Chains A and B, each alone.
Chain A
Amino acid sequence: MNKRLHYVIDGDDFTSAGQASGDVKKVLKTLGVPSEIVRKASIAMYEGEINMVIHADGGVIDVDIMPDRIVMALKDSGPGIPNVEEAMQAGFSTAPDTIRNLGFGAGMGLPNMKKYTDSMEIDTKVGVGTTITMTVKIV
């Protein structure tokens, strides 16, 4: 059941943020992936998608669905993460109050992405952008 999905995330539209993750969730369900795996993958991608909109003015997401795993690569050309270790701490956030008023920016995004996936790699450079690659095992 190899399948590749590609999404362009609009950085200006907070209302439609999450559409891509919702679509991936639907596809995974249709493919018969176990529901707990679907849930983990879609929560992790949703957090990443929201982060892209909040911090990086959007980006692109590629999802590879393979028989044994789901690989999600989120790439943006945003400001980059100056200190990854700090950003990984639960509660650390640089989101403005406008974002907190929308229910996000509690500093749980990256820790959540790590928690809900089997592996997560962050490749980031200040002023250039960030690529986060997450893998969720199916079997």
Chain B
Amino acid sequence: MKVSEIAEILNAEIVAGKELADMEINSACGSDMMSDVLAYFKDQGILLTGLVNPQVVRTAEMMDIKCIAFVRGKRPDGTLTDLAEERGIVVMLTDETMFTACGLLYSNGLTEAGRHE
């Protein structure tokens, strides 16, 4: 599924990495706890989160996650989006809740990111 399709499904606005709209995303994970993202997910898809601070981008960077969707209408500041731009990570914003955003993507064919044992 392309980044642009994900943005359309979530009715999301892309605020960083607009040039990467054609990038393919094959899996997703949703968490507000970066510790858990670092512990359990092994694929490099999209991270859905309601946590807004630059460590979300750092976590994505370390994990090779290519796209972050901020749910529940959370709006990051310029520091975060600049960091994401520098790292080639897409940032999109949606008003959907975590549950609904995950449900929408799942029902449209996006699967869970692989789990570490």
Q: Which residues of A contact B (CB under 8 A)?
A: 14-15, 17-18, 21-22, 25, 35, 39, 42-43, 46-47, 50, 90, 102-109, 111-112, 115
Contacts and interface: CB of A to CB of B under 8 A. Distances in A.
A29 B58 CA distance: 16
Given A103-B32, A103-B33, A108 B53 contact: no
Contacts of B51: 102-103
B116 A22 contact: no
B58 A46 contact: yes
Contacts of B55: 14, 17-18, 50, 102-104
Interface residues of B, number: 22
| Closest 4 pairs (CB-CB, A-B) | A18-B58, A106-B35, A103-B34, A108-B39
Interface stretch (B1-9, B21-29, B60-68): B60-68
B64 A35 contact: yes
A107 B35 CA distance: 8
B36 interface: yes
B107 interface: no
B56 interface: yes
A104 B36 CA distance: 8
Given A22-B58, A104-B55, A106-B39, 12 more contacts: A17-B55, A18-B54, A18-B58, A22-B87, A39-B63, A42-B62, A102-B55, A103-B53, A103-B59, A106-B36, A108-B35, A115-B116
